């Protein structure tokens, strides 16, 4: 189709309205009124439009933000959620459109009820509906493959004219004189509400027609104008017509007629015996035309995005006919699928299947609109705006109604989509990643949570302590000990920021180096996904630390612990850490020194805590950290062992005091996991550690400021043969509740 042949708004409106006021209106709406009563059907119409109106508004909003190319709804979903998720939903959308062709062709055969009655009464022949539906499907396929969308659009104008004439004649008709009726709305009933969702499942496909015209997006001159105008007007006009038809049916026919005569509209309309079957035939064939025009374009768009693993298959199905740009091969496949469902012949069963797939698509469109509102991306500037709460209602109601209609079908639909997504994600590994719509939403949620936490923690005393750690290191590629420790701590309860240090002053060159090294580091440490990774450019370790401790915490809470990490055998690294102790302490931080080794962690050896009589300030922090680390999956088979060092002259006094503290719950460790060790003057703490903790997975011990000042880096010596050892200095007494 060349540019001067492209369509305006009318085809969008007529495709939608012809589908809305179609098969269900003529064949099943009378049954719905008879089953539920007038007010029950009004409730049904409003519930259906709690899905379709938010979807129409969301669709119009998205369409005015960016040009909608070929594929209609699929294009919108895939460019919002990303190609892998979008393709998954696109397959569901395509199937619903292809099956819709069969649904409308099956419904079309009901216009020939007189023929089936004639054959049964005169020749005692009970003909299957496929006698009509299969040839009609063949003729429809031939026309659409040969002539394409232009024929379909031209036919729409004639069909919609017949459709509206039929509806006008229906409203001009008279009530059934034999029925006992009341034209007062106040006397209309609401009944059989236990069957509400059974009826809803049968009727809902009528309302799904409102997006039928969107599939023509690639053939529209101005989709940003035509899609909103055509879709919204068709949705609201359709809803109003259904309300008035419900009133006309309730006030013009008996309940028995409504329930048992699917052509009850024909008894009411002027010339209804002829016009209603003609109207039904016109509406169903137009709806089938609309679906058979739209579905191939969705399949074509999917194949242009390489949905199938076979490159040849994608090229084959995306192929266009040269003279009119029709998706010829996709049209053939669509017609074959429709033939299969026409052969089933059960209109109600097909209706439920269509409802599931359409609900998934509508819920997705509403979710896209809601997330775009919430994400507040500067690039999202639609000229038409819906309301975020309407989109949220549309999404919630879509999912809820799916399960109310048929829980088995709903679960099957979600399971099927999950399996398709897993396959697509596996096949298209290069297309993985978080789509911008989710990133924007996470950014916005993170921003709001940060502001909330800041306002609450500043205005009131915040006592529920949790670790928020920051660490600076330039040895990120040489060893991962610090990253591993941070991951243990921040996996569930804590937060951690790891800053990879890039030597030098800030410049375009160092900024580029920092970006490259961050990307490389993120690739290498995927298993430590609880740690926030960033870079810091600084000429010295001290300036890097000074910059880092002024940064806000990644969680929204202020950072409260600084981690220094060094190689056990590198005295220069140890000296740098000790030199910056006072700088960090002045910021009211707790401080940890991780003496890293090259030994493999023996997780089964557990976590060993070493407590000294002088460790009163550090005990709680050491215990809290050990419990937090033990919660990590790496330590699932480990336990905590506590060694309490006491002097000979204070054995009983300190031991009794410590046991009392444990029994009171202030130290949440069972006494059987605590070992008291009497230390004589000739035995060092390090030698006791070597004797009792040589097989431990991690050692945690306290560190006093005066000892660090007195001994310096000698505090960290003689740990070479031990596992990673964490020295803990607590600026304050951490509460244990």
Alpha carbon distances (Å) from 466 to 266, 388, 454, 496, 608? 73, 35, 15, 11, 21
Q: What digits encode the pLDDT tens for the residues 325-370?
A: 788 888 889 888 888 888 876 666 666 777 777 788 788 888 888 8
Chain centroid to Cα 259, Å, comes to 42
Quick check: 319 pLDDT over 80?
Answer: yes
What are the tens digits of pLDDT across the range 461-493?
445 678 889 999 999 999 999 999 999 998 888
Q: Which of 22, 29, 63, 55 is nearest to 44 (CA)?
A: 29
H or E segment at 725? strand 725-729
Q: Please state, in angstroms and as integers, the Cα–Cα distance from residue 170 to each residue in 16, 181, 183, 735, following that order.
A: 21, 17, 16, 78
Chain Cα centroid distance, residue 137: 38
Distance CA(145)–CA(635), nearest Å, equals: 64
Question: Could you give the domains of the chain?
Answer: 3-431 (1.20.1740.10), 463-729 (3.40.50.12370)
The rounded distance, in Å, linking the Cα atoms of 153 and 318 is 22
| Torsion region of 156: left, alpha or beta (phi above 0 gives left; psi -120 to 50 gives alpha) | alpha
Cβ(7)–Cβ(216) under 8 Å?
Answer: yes
d(CA 560, CA 592): 11
Strand partners, 418: none
Cα 647-650-653 angle, rounded to 5 deg: 140
Least confident stretch, 102-106, 165-169, 176-180, 496-500 = 176-180
Q: How many CA atoms lie within 13 A of 240 on its CB side?
A: 7
Displacement of CA 70 from its chain's centroid (Å): 24
Q: What is the strand order of the sheet 590-596 is part of? A: 532-538, 495-503, 468-473, 561-567, 590-596, 725-729, 698-702, 607-612, 640-647, 674-679
CA torsion, ordered 735, 601, 613, 620, to nearest 10 deg: 0
Greatest alpha-carbon pair distance for the chain in Å reads 118
Residue 500 CB coordination number (10 Å): 21
For residues 92-109, b (16+ Cβ closer than 10 Å) or e, as one string? bbbbbbbbbbbbbbbbbb
Question: 3-state class of 525 per DSSP?
Answer: coil
Model confidence at 1, pLDDT cuts 50, 70, 90, reads very low
Judge contact between 692 and 608, C-beta under 8 A. yes
Predicted local confidence at residue 537, as pLDDT: 94
Its pTM stands at 0.62
Q: Among 257-266, 626-635, 707-716, whose mean pLDDT is lowest? A: 257-266
Q: Which residues contact 123 (CB under 8 A, 6 or more apart)?
A: none
Residue 355 is predicted with a pLDDT of 74
d(CA 621, CA 729): 8
Residue listed under structure tokens 């006919």: 321
**pLDDT tens per residue across span 640-668:** 999 988 877 666 677 777 777 677 655 66
Model confidence at 278, pLDDT cuts 50, 70, 90, reads: confident
């Amino acid at each position: 189709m060349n540019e001067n042949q492209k369509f305006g708004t009318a085809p969008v409106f007529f495709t939608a309205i012809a589908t809305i006021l179609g098969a269900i209106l003529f064949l099943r709406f009378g049954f719905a009124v008879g089953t539920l009563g007038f007010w029950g059907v009004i409730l049904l119409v409003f519930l259906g439009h709690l899905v379709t109106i938010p979807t129409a508004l969301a669709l119009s909003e998205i369409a005015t933000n960016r040009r909608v190319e070929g594929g209609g709804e699929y294009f919108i979903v895939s460019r919002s959620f990303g190609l892998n998720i979008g393709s998954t939903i696109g397959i569901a959308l395509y199937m619903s459109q292809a099956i819709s062709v069969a649904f409308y062709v099956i419904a079309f055969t009901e216009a020939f009820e007189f023929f089936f009655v004639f054959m049964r009464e005169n020749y005692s022949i009970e003909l299957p509906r496929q006698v009509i539906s299969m040839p009609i499907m063949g003729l429809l396929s031939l026309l659409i493959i040969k002539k394409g969308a232009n024929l379909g659009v031209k036919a729409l104008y004639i069909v919609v004219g017949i459709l509206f004439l039929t509806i006008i004649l229906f409203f001009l008709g008279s009530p059934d004189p034999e029925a006992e009726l009341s034209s007062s709305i106040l006397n209309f009933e609401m009944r059989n509400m236990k069957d509400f969702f059974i009826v809803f499942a049968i009727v809902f496909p009528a309302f799904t027609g409102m997006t039928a015209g969107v599939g023509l997006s690639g053939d529209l001159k101005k989709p940003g104008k035509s899609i909103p105008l055509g879709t919204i007007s068709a949705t609201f006009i359709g809803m109003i017509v259904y309300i008035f038809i419900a009133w006309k049916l309730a006030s013009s026919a008996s309940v028995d007629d409504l329930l048992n005569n699917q052509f009850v509209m024909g008894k009411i309309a002027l010339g209804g015996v002829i016009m209603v079957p003609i109207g039904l035939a016109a509406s169903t064939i137009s709806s089938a035309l609309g679906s058979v025009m739209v579905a191939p374009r969705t399949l074509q768009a999917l194949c242009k995005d390489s949905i199938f693993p076979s490159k040849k298959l994608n090229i084959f199905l995306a192929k266009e006919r040269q003279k009119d740009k029709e998706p010829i091969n996709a049209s053939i496949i669509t017609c074959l699928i429709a033939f299969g469902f026409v052969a089933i012949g059960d209109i109600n069963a097909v209706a439920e299947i269509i409802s599931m797939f359409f609900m998934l698509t509508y819920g997705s469109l509403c979710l896209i609109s809601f997330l775009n509102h919430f994400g507040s991306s500067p690039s999202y500037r639609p000229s038409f705006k819906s309301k975020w709460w309407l989109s949220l209602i549309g999404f919630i109601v879509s999912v809820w109604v799916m399960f109310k209609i048929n829980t088995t079908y709903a679960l099957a639909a979600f399971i099927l989509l999950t399996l398709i997504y897993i396959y697509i994600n596996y096949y298209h590994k290069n297309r993985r990643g978080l789509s911008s719509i989710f990133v924007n939403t996470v950014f916005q949620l993170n921003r709001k949570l940060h502001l909330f936490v800041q306002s609450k923690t500043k205005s009131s005393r915040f006592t529920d302590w949790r670790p928020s750690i920051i660490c600076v290191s330039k040895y990120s590629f040489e060893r991962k000990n610090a990253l591993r420790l941070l991951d243990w701590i921040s996996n569930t309860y804590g937060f951690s920021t790891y800053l990879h240090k890039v030597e030098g002053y800030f410049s375009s060159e160092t900024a580029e180096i920092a970006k490259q090294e961050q990307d490389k580091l993120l690739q290498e440490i995927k298993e430590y996904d609880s740690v926030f990774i960033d870079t810091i450019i600084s000429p010295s370790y001290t300036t890097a630390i000074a910059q880092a401790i002024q940064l806000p915490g990644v969680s929204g809470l202020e950072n409260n612990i600084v981690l220094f990490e060094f190689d056990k055998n590198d005295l220069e690294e140890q000296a740098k850490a000790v030199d910056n102790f006072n700088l960090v302490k002045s910021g009211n931080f707790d401080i940890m020194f991780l003496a890293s080794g090259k030994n493999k962690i023996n997780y089964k050896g557990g976590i060993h805590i070493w407590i000294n009589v002088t460790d009163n300030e550090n005990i709680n922090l050491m215990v809290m950290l050990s419990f937090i680390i033990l919660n990590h999956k790496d330590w699932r088979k480990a336990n905590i062992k506590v060694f309490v060092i006491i002097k000979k002259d204070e054995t009983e006094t300190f031991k009794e005091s410590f046991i009392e503290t444990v029994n009171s719950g202030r130290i949440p460790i069972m006494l059987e996991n605590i070992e008291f060790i009497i230390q004589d003057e000739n035995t060092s703490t390090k030698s006791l550690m070597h004797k009792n903790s040589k097989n431990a997975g991690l050692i945690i011990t306290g560190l006093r400021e005066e000892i660090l000042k007195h001994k310096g880096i000698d505090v960290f010596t003689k740990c070479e043969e031990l596992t990673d050892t964490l020295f803990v200095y607590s600026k304050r007494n951490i509460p244990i509740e």
